[in-house]
Amino acid sequence: MAIAELEAASMNSANPRTSATMKAMVYHGPGRCGWEDKPRPVIQEPGDAIVRITTSTICGTDLHILKGDLPAVTDGRILGHEGIGVVEQVGTGVSEFHVGDKVIISCVTACLKCDFCRKAMYSHCRHGGWILGNTIDGTQAEYVRIPQADGSLYHFPANGDEESLVMLCDILPTGFECGVLNGQVKPGDSVAIVGAGPVGLAVLLTAQFYSPSAIFIIDLDAKRLAVAKKFGATTLINSTGGNAAQQVMELTAGAGVDVAIEAVGLPATFAICQAIVAAGGRIANVGIHGKPVELHLEKLWDRNISLTTRLVDTVTTPMLLKIVRSGKLQPSKLVTHRFAMNDIMKAYDTFGNAAKEGALTVVLTNGSPR
Amino acid sequence: MAIAELEAASMNSANPRTSATMKAMVYHGPGRCGWEDKPRPVIQEPGDAIVRITTSTICGTDLHILKGDLPAVTDGRILGHEGIGVVEQVGTGVSEFHVGDKVIISCVTACLKCDFCRKAMYSHCRHGGWILGNTIDGTQAEYVRIPQADGSLYHFPANGDEESLVMLCDILPTGFECGVLNGQVKPGDSVAIVGAGPVGLAVLLTAQFYSPSAIFIIDLDAKRLAVAKKFGATTLINSTGGNAAQQVMELTAGAGVDVAIEAVGLPATFAICQAIVAAGGRIANVGIHGKPVELHLEKLWDRNISLTTRLVDTVTTPMLLKIVRSGKLQPSKLVTHRFAMNDIMKAYDTFGNAAKEGALTVVLTNGSPR
Amino acid sequence: MAIAELEAASMNSANPRTSATMKAMVYHGPGRCGWEDKPRPVIQEPGDAIVRITTSTICGTDLHILKGDLPAVTDGRILGHEGIGVVEQVGTGVSEFHVGDKVIISCVTACLKCDFCRKAMYSHCRHGGWILGNTIDGTQAEYVRIPQADGSLYHFPANGDEESLVMLCDILPTGFECGVLNGQVKPGDSVAIVGAGPVGLAVLLTAQFYSPSAIFIIDLDAKRLAVAKKFGATTLINSTGGNAAQQVMELTAGAGVDVAIEAVGLPATFAICQAIVAAGGRIANVGIHGKPVELHLEKLWDRNISLTTRLVDTVTTPMLLKIVRSGKLQPSKLVTHRFAMNDIMKAYDTFGNAAKEGALTVVLTNGSPR
Amino acid sequence: MAIAELEAASMNSANPRTSATMKAMVYHGPGRCGWEDKPRPVIQEPGDAIVRITTSTICGTDLHILKGDLPAVTDGRILGHEGIGVVEQVGTGVSEFHVGDKVIISCVTACLKCDFCRKAMYSHCRHGGWILGNTIDGTQAEYVRIPQADGSLYHFPANGDEESLVMLCDILPTGFECGVLNGQVKPGDSVAIVGAGPVGLAVLLTAQFYSPSAIFIIDLDAKRLAVAKKFGATTLINSTGGNAAQQVMELTAGAGVDVAIEAVGLPATFAICQAIVAAGGRIANVGIHGKPVELHLEKLWDRNISLTTRLVDTVTTPMLLKIVRSGKLQPSKLVTHRFAMNDIMKAYDTFGNAAKEGALTVVLTNGSPR
């Protein structure tokens, strides 16, 4: 069936142009990418929507892709799995979104129908999961095709702030679901977050939904620790000296913390979590790991701990939206730099040198930055 | 204060003899032990009870102690942390038990008052935990002193069977709490138990409280697997060929199991659990580990799994008692050999050669075996 | 758009006839109904499927409809919300089912996309819920249109038994979700089920997934109590004398039961639940109530109880399917009478006089009864 | 045994006087009470402690007692079940507290040993529960005997504020456990609290531990509503017009609230909760009810709600202590009036005319008020 027919079938197209090109951030193998012309995406399946991107951002994972760490991402792929935009076109199977709707794009695509989606494990959706900017073209572009749109888009609230809400595409649900929910943070708990990068800070912001009495944050970078202080951390631990675990144990009178959250992805930082978790405590892994770690079961077998892993499911997006709207969470705190989408190569440079640039997250806008 | 005075203070002594000796299984360092004369224990604290042992048993941990694996156990220690008996004497602070009460002795001593006991983590009780036959004298004797008696004894039910109920001192709550509860076994789940020794079989029996649809059991020993079949396992996996994980994955069409329970305590068996746990699944560790294991976070970080460790808390003893009384659990299935307590050295020989002897658990009775 | 075009669009039709009639059980207002000719249903929305019914059954709710108790059901409605069948046609938005698939029809229609479906509350689906045989035509017919087919059908397992699995459309998930799950039945619990009708028996069968130590069942009908005994009840309470609550309290030494499950829907039976629930216990309401009840908060305010209501969500259908397939549940136990669908009027007579006929559930088959 | 001997046995007495008198608030039947001389309490059981009261308060329940609503309270009883003080003497069975320890007295006495205490239902302790100022003498006095001291006292933290922490004896755990925990308040939830009296305000303060997005508070008294606004309520509903439920439904676009918390204890306020609870929501009852209420099961049977009752267990006292110490909760906000204990009759007057006096809670100190 020709594209024109498909579009006719969709009966909802607001935009008659079908073969126009667009600009997009295209990956060409390790170290090579560019802001290039690409064909505008079209509806391929009944569940698809085409979204015109207004705001996007860059994730740490995108840097890994550029280094070549994720071989599933192949030459020609448009990067990006986060974005805010406006629905331009919907397939015949889409019922919850209409042309003109402003939407938040989830980094995880969910069919809602498979066994995993039924268990609220959208991350493992049999027809989706994390595919945007990975196995299909992504959001760092002027337009993106969103499969399974009904399960993968969220309505942008009236009077919402794009810069804040683009943080709900990935980083905030990641910190909240993988770190805070899996760590079962409870009122009065002591929590340690290992890593004060953007994801660690997302954990920090969302952990406070549950009123822990103490939040330790551990990092090598004094500047990031200073930011963490402003974001609500109660104790800063500089791990430069290699004795972070010892410091936490001393500050907790040898008890350790109720919840230790790993937000880096290295054996050394995971080791800190094992060393500081209290008997009966939880270790919640958020970091992406490239190698095995040593698990000290000879010390932990009788400590009644739990250890969890998770790829974000984005099932808490509606909850996070409510909290943002109530004013209890200001995600734009995480934004330090703003670029026009056309300047995405500069944005990558800045984000790639985050420590030097003092960058947390960078926001990209189609049109001029605010 | 003299012993006689202490006993007078207790006001409850049924037995006027105070300085009599008794027989007990005494440890004298690696490889050395004997059934010897020891002074009968006396009340030392207001919360103590003296129990005359009628039935005891031997735990795999006792074999480890005899090998010298637990240096906390020192020369002269009476072994044993499981037993049924009759209360002979109680301290002034004991309110729930009286002289003449028949009791089940928990392997874990619980003060009920400390922060850990308040959280139902009796295993980490600040005044107790696993101390019997470890840091204080134990139950493989004619008499034993039970500190924190109100938290550490349970009333033996009318018409109960000693042989069955001595399994509630340690092995059944261990299998149930560390394996089944921590593994969150649910109706319809697929469960794999790695290890068909006594503890693995205790997991098998108690997992069935929750009606899983499939229970795989993995062991090197065909005889133990045959027992597991009789106890309700639905699929037997002989791991002799080194491809147990592969077999489980094939039988589950590549999905793996909802719950993988480690009941051995070795890196190799823990590795099997990691290889077979389904996305979204749980690994519950029951085995006692002597060395670190390799945790494949590079594979598991995005698999949404949980991994738990636990020293048995024995908080489920009242629940298990109800189930035994209802007839839904026959713990005496686990008993293969019976000895008079006087023949405890033979009992240790048999239990120490469990594979050759076809032994699961051995029961010791003061008086003649039934 | 003509029906023919719609069918062409569906591209999946196995059956070229479009305007054929069929037989169906049609409601015409209180007391009036018949097995009549009706047009065969056709695809109306992309998410629809047309299912040829092979097996159906009659629910107690259908009797209420016939009496006129549910005014939402209007003249001309085809009754029935349970069925097994074969997919004849699917809309373009259906992805999980194909023509020729054998399916179990859920009594609850679920879009999977709305806020309630996302919370696993399919009963309150904004595009579905209980609509079959209620606000749209139902399953007591030769064919039925199933909207939101991907969320409302389940694959019939290879070698499944239709008579057993038609019990999964409504009655078993109702008993399990509203009674057992909401009642939080745990191993060792004491459970009382008020009402030994089909739904009460479904509670009884599924409560046993969690190994309670005692199950009291309360009914006026000695024959139903006898059936309950065979199905696993441990104590039968005949409530004819009006002292059912007193009997339960005596049998529990004044403590009451951990879980009291109301499976009738009357003030008097709800009163029994209030009178027998233990401190810390749960009352789970399953019955459909037509009037308010008196809640004795003056007695219950300090008893730490919970009370739940629920319209079945059918979210446990996949779990129940696994358990049926494992052999741990034989739903066909609930079937006492079998009819050809053509004899549905006789089936209604029998089911309408259940007590006299000794009927639990009746099964209807298109073709001859087995 | 003479009192002197009992005291000698306790071996810990810091105060040699045994037959001294003290002042206390004594009840003499409906409407009659006074600040009178009474004998100082002495150790009666090994688990007892004698506490010298430094700070106490008056509870709404005390007003009910004075009216004669609680016939269990008999002539001569010393009232009061809340207090801060210093341990003067301990029985031989007390292990966690020593003479000179500053303590918080829980309104609920817990043996920690019985089946209810083991389930963390201290409210139903077989040797305790709410007995202070009820079936035994209470805390509105210079000294009080605390039975089961190890389970019923909490260590007063260094640098703690007595006025704040006396709120942890009853009112804050009551609001938190019965309202917030039973209501399962979650981040982003909408919560309605019916009643802005002291207990309703305690619910309001502690609900914020979980970051709900909206908190409606409903009361007849504009002054109390104004206080609620300062304490964090997001929407004030004056119920004077009788249309509070309608207002909530309009403000929630007909959906109702996730959690409705009853903090009054009347049929009319309970009716509001039923009218405003959303499908899938929770009604948590905190109020003390004197009569039955009408439960609209004809409307609620299919709404998937839960309804809970609870007498405070004070199991969250350690958690609340941690939160107070972290600065996230300032319980002294609830204190509006302060009196010397000698002026307790005036304090009762003020508290008994709370609306007129603008009183929330009154604090009593032995010594001069601060």
> Which residues in chain A are closer than 8 Å to C95, comparing Cβ atoms?
47, 111, 113, 127
Helix (H) or strand (E) run with residue D295 in it = strand D293-295
Does the pLDDT of residue A4 top 70, yes or no? no
Residue C4 has pLDDT above 70, yes or no: no
Residues of chain B with pLDDT under 50: 1-17, 368-370
Round to whole Å and give the CA distance between D259 and D276: 9
- Collapsing DSSP states into helix, strand and coil, what is residue B289? coil
Of the candidates D183, D180, C265, B228, the residue with the CA atom closest to the CA atom of residue A187:
D180
Q: Are C280 and D306 an interchain contact pair (Cβ–Cβ within 8 Å)?
A: no
* Tally of residues, chain A: 370
Query: What Cα–Cα distance (Å) separates residue B292 from each residue in A269, A281, B295, B319, D114?
Result: 17, 19, 9, 34, 40
- Strands A49-57 and A361-365 turn out to be antiparallel
| CA-based nearest residue to B91, from B151, B161, B7, B174 | B7
- The rounded percent of chain D whose pLDDT value lies above 90 is 91
ipTM (interface pTM): 0.93
* Residue of chain D whose alpha carbon sits nearest to that of B114: D96
pLDDT at C13: 43
- Chains in contact with C, where contact requires at least 3 CB pairs less than 8 Å apart: A, B, D
Res. A59: pLDDT tops 70: yes
> pLDDT at residue D42 above 60?
yes
Closest residue to A121, CB basis, from B265, B280, B293: B280
Interface size, chain B vs chain C, as Cβ–Cβ contacts under 8 Å: 56
Closest-CA residue of chain A to B279: A124
Distance from CA of A138 to the nearest CA of D (A): 30
Helix (H) or strand (E) holding B295: strand B293-295
| C284 neighbourhood in chain D, CB within 8 Å | none
pLDDT digits (tens, 9 = 90+) for C103-143: 999 999 999 999 999 999 999 999 999 999 999 999 999 99
- Contact by Cβ (8 Å): C28, C75: yes
pLDDT value at residue B19: 60
Contact A198, A222 (CB under 8 A): no
- A70 backbone dihedrals φ, ψ, rounded to 5°: -120, 90
The reported pLDDT for the residue numbered B355 is 85
Among the partner residues A113, A115, A318, nearest to C95 by beta-carbon distance: A113
The first and second tokens of residue D32, run together, are 């009659």
Asked if residues C53 and C366 have their Cβ atoms less than 8 Å apart, the reply is: yes
- Chain segment C227-248, per-residue pLDDT in tens: 999 999 999 999 999 999 999 9
What pLDDT is stored for residue D367 in this prediction?
A: 73
Cβ contact A93:C46 at 8 Å: yes
Q: How far is CA A224 from the centre of its chain?
A: 19
Q: What is the C-alpha to C-alpha distance for residues B142 and B78, in angstroms, rounded to an integer?
A: 11
Neighbours of chain D (3+ CB pairs under 8 A): A, B, C
Encode pLDDT of D160-197 as tens digits: 999 999 999 999 999 999 999 999 999 999 999 999 99
- Mean pLDDT for all residues in chain A: 94
One-letter identity of residue A44: Q
Nearest CA of chain C to the CA of B71: how many Å? 38
Give how far B308 is from chain A: nearest CA, Å.
4
Task: Choose among D89, D101, D5: nearest CA to D47.
Answer: D89
CB atoms within 10 A of CB A299: 13
Which residues in chain B have their CB less than 8 angstroms from residue A308's CB? 304-307
> Would you say residue A10 has pLDDT above 60?
no
DSSP character string of C61-104? HHHHHHHT--TTS-TTPBP---EEEEEEEE-TT--S--TT-EEE
Work out the average pLDDT over C189-199.
97
Residues of C with CB under 8 A from a CB of D: 116, 119, 121, 123-124, 182, 265, 270, 279-280, 285, 287-298, 300-311, 313
Give the mean model confidence (pLDDT) for residues D214-222. 97
pLDDT in tens, A336-368: 999 999 999 999 999 999 988 999 999 999 874
Of chain C, the percentage scoring pLDDT greater than 70 comes to 94
Contact status, residue C117 vs residue C110, Cβ threshold 8 Å? yes
Is B213 in contact with C186 (Cβ distance < 8 A)? no
Contact A196, A240 (CB under 8 A): no
Q: Nearest chain A residue to B312 by CA: give it.
A: A302
Taking residues C75-81, report their average pLDDT.
98
Mutate to test the interface with A, among C44, C95, C116, C150 (most CBs of A within 10 A): C95
Least Cα separation, residue D279 to chain C (angstroms): 8
Contact state of A303 with B309 under an 8 Å Cβ cutoff: yes
The confidence score (pLDDT) of residue D19 equals: 60
Are A92 and C95 in contact (CB < 8 Å)? no
Q: Which of D95, D113, D315 sits opposite B95 (nearest CB)?
A: D113
pLDDT at D154 over 50: yes
The pTM of this model reads 0.94
Residues of A in contact with C46 (CB under 8 A): 46, 92-93
Among C313, C203, C311, smallest CA distance to C262 is for C203
Query: SS3 breakdown of chain C: % helix, strand, coil, rounded to 5?
Result: 35, 25, 40
Q: For D251-275, how does the pLDDT look when each residue is reduced to its tens digit (9 = 90+)?
A: 999 999 999 999 999 999 999 999 9
Q: Rounded distance, CA D46 to CA D260, Å?
A: 44
Angle CA C147–C317–A114, to nearest 5:
65
Look up residue B148 and give its two tokens: 């924190």
Lookup: tokens for C163:
């008579």
pLDDT tens, position by position, A246-304? 999 999 999 999 999 999 999 999 999 999 999 999 999 999 999 999 999 999 999 99
In 3D, which of B196, B295, B306, B292 has the Cα closest to residue B259? B306
Size of interface A-B (CB pairs under 8 A): 112
Q: Which residue of B has its CA nearest to D127?
A: B95
Chains with ≥3 Cβ pairs under 8 A against B? A, C, D
- Residue B162's H or E segment, with its range, is helix B162-165
Specify the pLDDT at position C19: 60
Q: How far apart are CA D153 and CA D150, in angstroms?
A: 6
Write the residue in D188, D234, D322 that is nearest to A188 by C-beta. Answer: D322
Q: pLDDT for C249-300, tens place per residue?
A: 999 999 999 999 999 999 999 999 999 999 999 999 999 999 999 999 999 9
The closest CB to that of C121, out of D280, D288, D311, belongs to D280
Q: Are A306 and A331 in contact (CB under 8 A)?
A: no
CB atoms within 10 A of CB D21: 11
Residues of chain B neighbouring A259 (CB-CB closer than 8 A): none
Contact between chains at C309 and D290 (C-beta distance less than 8 A)? no
* D97: closest chain B residue by CA: B113
Distance of alpha carbon D337 from alpha carbon D335, whole angstroms: 6
The percentage of chain A sitting over the pLDDT mark of 70, rounded to a whole number, equals: 94
Whether the predicted pLDDT of D139 surpasses 60: yes
pLDDT at position A19: 60
Smallest CA-to-CA distance from C45 within B327, D168, A46 is with A46
Tokens of B233: 């396992």
Query: Within chain B, how many helices (H) and strands (E) appear?
Result: 14, 16
